[in-house]
């Protein structure tokens, strides 16, 4: 009985051992197949391993990402796109545009989502949701004695006849012998440093592949089916329907058969994705830097399609652009400066939303175009607008709305007048300080000027009057330029600007003035009256000024000796620095110049002066001869004259007193030649 029990026990143990070995063998086969097919599809980025790193046997199952085999249509050499996430060991050098519709940028070019390109031979890149993914094409071994690499290709082909090339194509049912982690040719030297664990794994995988292949062939009743060369393979690819990325992933999951026969099927081949139409490159006449694109005189007829959120400056001066569409700046929303001067842009050609997307725009230049009104929907961030030399014929109360940050507005060379400029046109401009309205059709000073205005330029208009209400609200105004108009002194109201506390410079050149205007601002420092018909400087006309006039330009007028009184310059003796009286009709140096202790620059050239009295330019004192030398020294110290121009008069230089210019530090600063002949 004991012997029977003992035999039964041994039989039971042997059955358990045999069952355990069978289960272990089956499990090992499954694991090997997973490892084999996982090697074909292992994502180097997902697994964080580059092709150059040794493969280590995993201690736990690893999640794998399906690979996409790609077919090179030109030479039928198949490569494997190892990963859709990018090689971890080969970092991309391209910039990424996060969150911008999945676009990528490569060497300055915009790549749309799912675009595929090849920056270098054997390198294929993909734009995937804003991320650039680059992989190296794997070259398969060829069964021919001699191979060559054609120009522009990265994989070798057989150098024999076409039949030899066809015979070298590896059948699709043998593609399982190729691992996606095979070393590249440049990495072959590193294979000898792989660990023994890797070597054993490779041998195990190769043995399993042979077993699977032989078993699959036996189950086909001895009928060997090999695809013949290039034509059958391409036909097979054309007939196969392209799969989406999602469908491919689902199909790869079922790579192992339900039957435990050791066979598995390969995923279908994906066609090469067709890249979308990309934005054309910039024209040859354009240059670019990190934040600026310049296309000056590049013969452009439209704004080039650019997509670069880092661009801040765009210069398109001197082209033939006629329109600005609503989408013109969609790809460059962060522009701060645009120069579209000297084009053919018309008002109907500007879309109503063309500039609305530019939330950071500060400067907009549209000089030299064909605009008839100011573009609408301009960004509120604008600080400077130039629309000089256009055809503007109206500014209504809504033309400049929301431009509360505008500091500079230039509208010269248009068809503006008080009749077509609304008194409320400048009301929205809460920060405007610099306004240019020259070369228009104004007959009076425009109404409704902003209270923040500091500089006003109205030259080359037809202004005939300056009323007392013109500058009532512009208490900060500092500069007024009214040259080349039709002003007469009696048409300037006494209260027009006398109470202005910040007005320092007035230019009334080339008008119709007959004498220096009275009631000038008490804060005035610069008075420019060149090119009028002035015959007289009234006495005490500068007497109320504080701290006093510093620059007085009266060139090209009709001043004679009797037009300048001894008190004409009263109030400016201790402040005047420059006095221009050239190109007049003076016969002698005017009185009062010797009292100007801060005068540095005196112009009396091109008059009718015949002599220079010693006391007219340099002050003289009645002193004893012993004190004569000391008085000259004191005179030089007191006077600050540096330049005196007396050329083109009738002065006999040989008859000049030696003390005429004694107060001038350097005699070379006195210009006396040439003189006119009597």
Residue ranges covered by each domain of the chain: 39-53+65-253
CA distances from 542 to 1, 522, 595 (A): 146, 8, 15
Longest dimension (CA), the chain: 165
Cα Rg, the chain, nearest whole Å: 46
Q: pLDDT at position 217, please?
A: 52
Q: What's the sign of the alpha-carbon dihedral 43, 49, 53, 56?
A: negative
Which residue spans within 289-348 are E strands per DSSP?
Answer: 292-294, 313-315, 337-339
Q: What's the sign of the alpha-carbon dihedral 330, 331, 337, 342?
A: negative
Q: Exposed, middle or buried, 492 (CB in 10 Å: 0-12/13-18/19+)?
A: buried
Angle, in degrees to the nearest 10, between helices 196-218 and 2-41: 100
Q: pLDDT at position 71, please?
A: 36
Alpha-carbon distance 86 to 341, whole Å?
45
Q: pLDDT at position 113, please?
A: 74
Distance of alpha carbon 141 from the chain centroid = 50
- Cis, bond preceding 674 (omega within 30 deg of 0): yes
Tokens coding 108: 């300055």
Q: pLDDT at position 293, please?
A: 94
Q: pLDDT at position 135, please?
A: 78
Q: Exposed, middle or buried, 246 (CB in 10 Å: 0-12/13-18/19+)?
A: exposed
Three-state secondary-structure class, residue 616: helix
Tokens coding 23: 């289960």
CA distances from 177 to 36, 171, 203, 266 (A): 9, 11, 12, 12
Three-state secondary-structure class, residue 90: coil
Nearest alpha carbon to residue 309 among 284, 338, 331: 331
Q: Are strands 109-111 and 116-120 parallel, antiparallel or unpaired?
A: unpaired
CB 642 within 8 A of CB 665: yes
Cα end-to-end distance, the chain, whole Å: 164
Phi-psi group of 29: left, alpha or beta (phi > 0 → left; psi -120 to 50 → alpha; rest → beta): alpha
Residues of the chain with pLDDT under 50: 27-28, 32-100, 161-201, 204-205, 208-210, 219-220, 222-264, 266-267, 269-270, 623-628, 631-637
Alpha-carbon distance 169 to 164, whole Å?
9
Q: pLDDT at position 3, please?
A: 60
Query: How many helices and strands, by DSSP H and E, does the chain display?
Result: 7, 27
Q: Exposed, middle or buried, 487 (CB in 10 Å: 0-12/13-18/19+)?
A: buried
Nearest alpha carbon to residue 516 among 470, 463, 572: 572
Q: Could you give phi then psi for residue 394, rounded to 5 degrees?
A: -165, 145
CB atoms within 10 A of CB 367: 18
């Amino acid at each position: 009985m004991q012997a029977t029990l003992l035999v039964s026990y041994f039989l039971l143990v042997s059955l358990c051992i045999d069952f355990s070995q069978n289960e272990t063998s089956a499990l090992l086969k499954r694991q090997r197949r997973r490892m084999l097919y996982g090697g074909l599809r292992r994502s180097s980025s997902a697994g964080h391993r580059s092709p150059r790193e040794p493969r280590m046997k995993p201690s736990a199952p690893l999640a794998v990402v399906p690979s996409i085999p790609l077919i090179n249509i030109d030479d039928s050499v198949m490569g494997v796109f190892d990963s859709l996430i990018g090689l971890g060991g080969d970092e991309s050098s391209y910039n990424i545009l996060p969150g911008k519709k999945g676009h990528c940028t490569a060497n300055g070019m915009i790549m749309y989502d799912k675009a595929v390109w090849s920056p270098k031979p054997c390198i294929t890149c993909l734009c995937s949701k804003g991320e650039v993914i680059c992989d190296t094409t794997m070259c398969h071994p060829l069964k021919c004695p001699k191979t060559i690499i054609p120009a522009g290709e990265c994989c070798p082909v057989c150098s024999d006849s076409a039949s030899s090339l066809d015979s070298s194509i590896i059948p699709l049912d043998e593609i399982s012998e190729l691992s996606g982690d095979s070393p590249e040719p440049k990495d072959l030297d590193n294979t000898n440093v792989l660990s023994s664990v890797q070597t054993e794994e490779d041998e195990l995988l190769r043995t399993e592949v042979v077993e699977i292949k032989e078993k699959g062939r036996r189950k086909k009743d001895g009928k060997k089916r090999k695809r013949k060369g290039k034509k059958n393979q391409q036909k097979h690819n054309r007939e196969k329907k392209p799969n989406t990325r999602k469908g491919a992933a689902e199909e790869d999951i079922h790579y192992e058969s339900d039957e435990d026969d050791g066979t598995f099927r390969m995923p279908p081949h994906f066609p090469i994705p067709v890249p979308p139409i990309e934005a054309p490159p910039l024209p040859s006449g354009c240059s670019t830097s990190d934040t600026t694109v310049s296309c000056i005189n590049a013969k452009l007829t439209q704004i080039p399609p650019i997509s670069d959120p880092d661009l801040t400056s765009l210069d398109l001066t001197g082209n033939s652009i006629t329109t600005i569409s609503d989408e013109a700046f969609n790809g460059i929303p962060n522009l701060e400066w645009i120069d579209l001067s000297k084009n053919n842009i018309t008002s109907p050609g500007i879309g109503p939303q063309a500039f609305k997307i530019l939330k950071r725009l500060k400067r907009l230049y549209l000089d030299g175009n064909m605009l008839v009104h100011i573009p609408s929907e301009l960004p509120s961030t604008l600080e400077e607008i130039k629309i000089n030399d256009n055809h503007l014929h109206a500014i209504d109360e809504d033309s400049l709305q929301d431009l509360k940050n505008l500091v500079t507005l230039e509208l010269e060379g248009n068809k503006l007048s008080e009749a077509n400029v609304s008194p409320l046109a400048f009301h929205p401009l809460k920060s405007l300080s610099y306004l240019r309205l020259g070369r228009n059709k104004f007959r009076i000073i425009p109404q409704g000027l902003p209270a923040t205005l500091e500089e006003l330029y109205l030259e080359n208009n037809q202004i005939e009057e300056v009323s007392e209400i013109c500058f009532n609200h512009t208490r900060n105004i500092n500069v007024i330029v009214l040259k080349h108009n039709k002003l007469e002194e009696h048409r300037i109201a006494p209260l027009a600007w006398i109470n202005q506390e910040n007005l320092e410079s007035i230019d009334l050149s080339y008008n119709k003035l007959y004498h220096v205007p009275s009631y000038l601002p008490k804060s005035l420092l610069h008075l420019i009256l060149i090119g009028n018909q002035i015959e007289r400087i009234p006495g005490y006309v500068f007497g109320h000024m504080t701290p006093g006039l510093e620059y007085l330009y009266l060139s090209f007028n009709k001043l004679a000796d009797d037009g300048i009184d001894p008190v004409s310059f009263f109030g400016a003796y201790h402040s005047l620095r420059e006095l221009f009286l050239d190109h007049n009709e003076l016969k002698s140096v005017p009185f009062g110049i010797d009292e100007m202790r801060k005068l540095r620059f005196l112009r009396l050239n091109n008059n009718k002066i015949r002599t220079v009295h010693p006391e007219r330019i340099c002050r003289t004192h009645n002193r004893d001869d012993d004190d004569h030398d000391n008085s000259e020294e004191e005179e030089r110290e007191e006077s600050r004259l540096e330049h005196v121009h007396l050329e083109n008069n009738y002065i006999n230089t040989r008859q000049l007193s030696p003390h005429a210019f004694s107060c001038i530090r350097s005699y070379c600063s006195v210009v006396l030649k040439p003189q006119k002949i009597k």
